[in-house]
Structure 1
């Protein structure tokens, strides 16, 4: 039995789940998400708890069991609390600023890079060297953060670029360090 798949998903106050074959709709105080799921999985909502059950111990059903439960749990957490990813900018003269809803990055190019947020995503710039990506869809928040990071990836030699908060960056020694 899948250890992740068999765990029940508790519903916080104000969150409702509507199950239709192949689709689960989750509504909460922060918004609404639709999660496509396999119609083979049995999803039940009772007593403020969502449970996912699989029809058999077939390999395909075992793999879908944990995945389905995790996707629904992520949607429930997203509409209740939301998700955030924090990015740090390191480098001399590197900074970010909010221009309307978009974020403008000055990261060593000849021009500033302006990134418009997709629908459902908001940016915050609490400091010129910090960017917060906020939203209710975990996958979309992570993808937008990855796209921002890809604009100027961290350099392993100079410790410059856009990092995830808490990301360990291993500096390479360069030419002088290789001679020793």
Structure 2
């Protein structure tokens, strides 16, 4: 039995859930998300929230059970609270700025890098060395954060680069005489 799959998904006030066959549509104050659950999973809506259960006891049904529950729960959290990732720019001359909706980064290259936000994603730059990425889709927020980090990942000698907030970079010792 999946410990994650057994748990009920609580539906907060202000959120509506529509189940049409295998498609689940969640609407809330921060937008609307929909996802089609695998055929092996049965979705039922009760008074306390949503319950997911496998239709058969197969390997794929058990695998999709916990995954489906987590993805639907992420949709509910996304339309109520949203998701946010914070990136830090460490290095001399490394800075970020907003140009309209797009993000402009100076990361030590000879040119600026402009990144347009995907649908449903917003950028914020509270400081020149800090970028906040927010949206209602957890996967999209994490993906765009990973794409930005990959432009200049933190290097181990000086620690320069783009890193997640709170990330520790293992430092290496430099050359010895």
TM-score bucket of the superposed structures, by smaller chain:
over 0.9
**1:22: Cα distance to partner?**
2.9
- 1:71 aligned residue: 71
What CA distance in whole angstroms lies between the structure 2 residues aligned with 1:129 and 1:92?
Answer: 10
Residue 69 of structure 1 aligns to a residue whose secondary structure is helix
Which residue is 2:168 aligned to?
Answer: 168
Greater mean alpha carbon deviation, residues 55-64 or residues 113-122: 55-64
Cα distance in structure 1, aligned partners of 2:48 and 2:13: 9
TM-score, normalised via structure 2 length: 0.96
- What is the TM-score of this pair, normalised by structure 1? 0.95
Show the counterpart of 2:60: 60
What corresponds to 1:96 in structure 2? 96
Coordinate RMSD, CA, aligned: 1.1
Name 1:135's counterpart in structure 2.
135
Corresponding residue pairs, total: 177
Structure 1: state its 5+ residue gaps: none
Structure 2 unmatched runs, 5+: none
1:21/1:39 contact within 8 Å kept: no
Contact 1:86 1:164 in 2 (8 A): yes
CA distance in 2, matches of 1:74, 1:86: 19
1:20-169 aligned within 5 A: 20-169=20-169
CA distance in structure 1 between the partners assigned to 2:83 and 2:36 by the alignment: 20
Matches of 2:7 and 2:32, distance apart in 1: 23
